[in-house]
Amino acid sequence: MRNKNVVFDIATGTIKPKFTGDWYDSSKNNYGPRLALIYTPQALHGATVFRVGSGVFYGPGQTEDQIQPEANDRVSRTFAASANKVFPIDPATDVYAGYNINSPTLGYQPRAYAPHYGVTERVTTYTASIQQALPGQVQLLVAYVGSQGRNLFLRSITNLITGVTQNATTGAGTAVRQFGPRFAEIDYKTSGGTDRYDSLQSTLQRRFRTGLSMGAQYTWAKELGTSSGSNEASTAQNPFDFRTEYGRGASDIRHSFNLTSLYQLPLGHGRKYALSGPLDFLAGGIKVGGVINFRSGLPIDVRITRPDLAYTGNPGTPFAGMVFSSPVKLANGAVGTTASSTYRVAATRATFAVPTSSLALAPTSNRAPSSSTPPPSARRPLVLSATSAATT
């Protein structure tokens, strides 16, 4: 059977030829003990129950995150509209022909694993609760529920932009990447994320009696960490330090309140309003229930989407210091902007501060007016952690 995996080495920026080793680390020592204790003091007439418990759980995360080298075995082509391609195409001539995996300008985009990536995520849970019987067949439960996650799934990018070259005539910039133009930006997966969840949970429950059951539940909780696990991990905003991802988790719902009810209508054989025959079959024993939920909102990641390259107005031009998404020329045809790249960083409060001057509208031309009026495409730059200026 043909070896179909394509393993990318993020340490050297190369594809490992005919790789036969393990794609990731795993362990057979993932023991998951569980322990629980229940105590009902006889002095309290069996109306009070104390419970404590803890357990260790392991999981591999998403299956998709374990088969990336297999998924890398692909060939892709983009056809211009002028090629007049229609479905179905001929893969041999339209896709495979002329495709060179070793081309230095291919822009191939495999997915990768970091060295020592381990798939087994570990979550330790623990709880302590008191349950008290109250008059009227009502029970009150107050509990602390917590958990800690370790070795959780993380993801980031490699083959970063390390510099920019610029065409002196057109002003267009070209990104210089960490491993060269053979590869585009590469998504990679690793482990080591942490997470902690703490909550106070309370339940007031009326047992089913005289046809009616009611309940109320309230939870106050907090989740903090660098990752919420395999299915909830986002690409790191700072590719140089996962610790900066620490914050509210994907399940950080601070307040949650639920009301539930279930009522059995007094219709049917043996009930207050007796029915028989077809009516008893259709309406006898009908139950009506309802659920009402109130909760606070989930955390939202504030993201800034921008191109890899930006163009800043040169000093001495009418738009000095302003930022564009494409090169801008002066009225005399000279290039008036310098291409640069910015690393992916997290937004801060300062990012959303009200600027000292008004911002311009959407672009209508890539040529700046000859007057001192800022061009239509100008906007204020964000304060970023690092930049790479162009060289010509």
What is the tens place of the pLDDT at every residue in 180-217?
888 888 999 999 999 999 999 999 998 777 778 899 99
Whether 49 and 40 have beta carbons less than 8 Å apart is answered as yes
Tell me how far apart the alpha carbons of residues 347 and 334 are, in angstroms, rounded to a whole number.
Answer: 34
pLDDT for 265 = 86
Residues in the chain: 392
What is the tens place of the pLDDT at every residue in 217-262?
999 999 999 998 877 778 888 888 899 889 998 889 999 999 999 9
- The two three-digit tokens of residue 193, written as one number: 């994320």
Look at residues 365, 366, 368, 364 and name the one whose alpha carbon lies nearest to residue 332. 368
- Write the DSSP assignment of 294-327 as a string of letters: EEPPPP--------SEEEEEPTTSTTTT-EESS-
The CA dihedral of 198, 202, 207, 212, to the nearest 10 degrees, is -110
Q: Provide the mean pLDDT of the chain.
A: 82
pLDDT by residue for the chain (392 residues), tens digit each?
Answer: 356 788 889 888 888 888 888 888 888 889 999 999 999 999 998 899 999 999 999 988 777 778 888 888 778 777 888 888 888 888 888 888 878 777 887 888 888 999 888 888 999 999 999 999 999 889 999 999 999 999 999 989 999 999 999 999 999 999 999 998 888 889 999 999 999 999 999 999 987 777 788 999 999 999 999 998 877 778 888 888 899 889 998 889 999 999 999 988 888 887 888 888 888 888 888 889 999 999 999 888 777 777 889 999 999 999 999 989 899 999 899 999 999 986 555 555 655 565 554 333 333 334 443 433 333 333 333 333 344 455 54
User: Which run of H or of E encompasses 55?
Assistant: strand 48-59
Domain ranges of the chain: 7-165+184-254, 302-392
Longest dimension (CA), the chain: 97
Q: For residue 38, list its beta bridge partners.
A: 51
